[in-house]
Amino acid sequence: MFTDKTLLITGGTGSFGNAVLRRFLSSDIGEIRVFSRDEKKQDDMRKRYGSSKLRFYLGDASSRRAWQALPRLGPGGALRLTSWCCPAATTGGAR
C-alpha cells in the first residue's frame, strides 16, 4: 500500500512520533523522514532503529526557513501546506 511512498513525521522524536515511526517501519513504505528540533534524540533513534528507510532533518516546525530546507515530497506532498501552517504557528504568541 505504501510502496515507494515517503512519510514526513514532524516532531518525530517525541512519543507520538516514535509510535508512528514504529508503525511504518514494518510497512513497505519507501522512506520515513523525521523532522524535529532535538539532534540528540535523532541520533538515539538512528542508533536504535538502524533502518535505511530513515532520514533525519533538524529544524523547528514553526520556521519557514526550516521547512524550505527540507527536500520536496513531490506532488500533493505535505510541504504544500507551508504557506499557511508556518505563519499560523507563529501568530498570537504561539511557539
69 lies in some domain:
yes
pLDDT single digits (tens) 19-48: 989 999 989 999 998 888 889 999 999 999
Q: How far is C-alpha 85 from the chain's CA centre?
A: 14
Indicate the number of domains in the chain. 1
User: pTM to 2 decimals?
Assistant: 0.69
Asked if the structure places residue 27 within a domain, the reply is yes
Q: By C-alpha distance, which of 81, 41, 31 is closest to 61?
A: 81
* CA torsion through residues 49, 50, 56, 60, sign: positive
As given in the structure block, the three cell numbers for residue 88 are 499560523
Q: Could you tell me the residue range of the domain that residue 75 belongs to?
A: 6-93
Q: Does residue 1 sit within a domain?
A: no
Confidence of residue 85 (pLDDT cuts 50, 70, 90): very low
For residue 69, give the amino acid letter. Answer: A
Mean pLDDT of the chain: 77
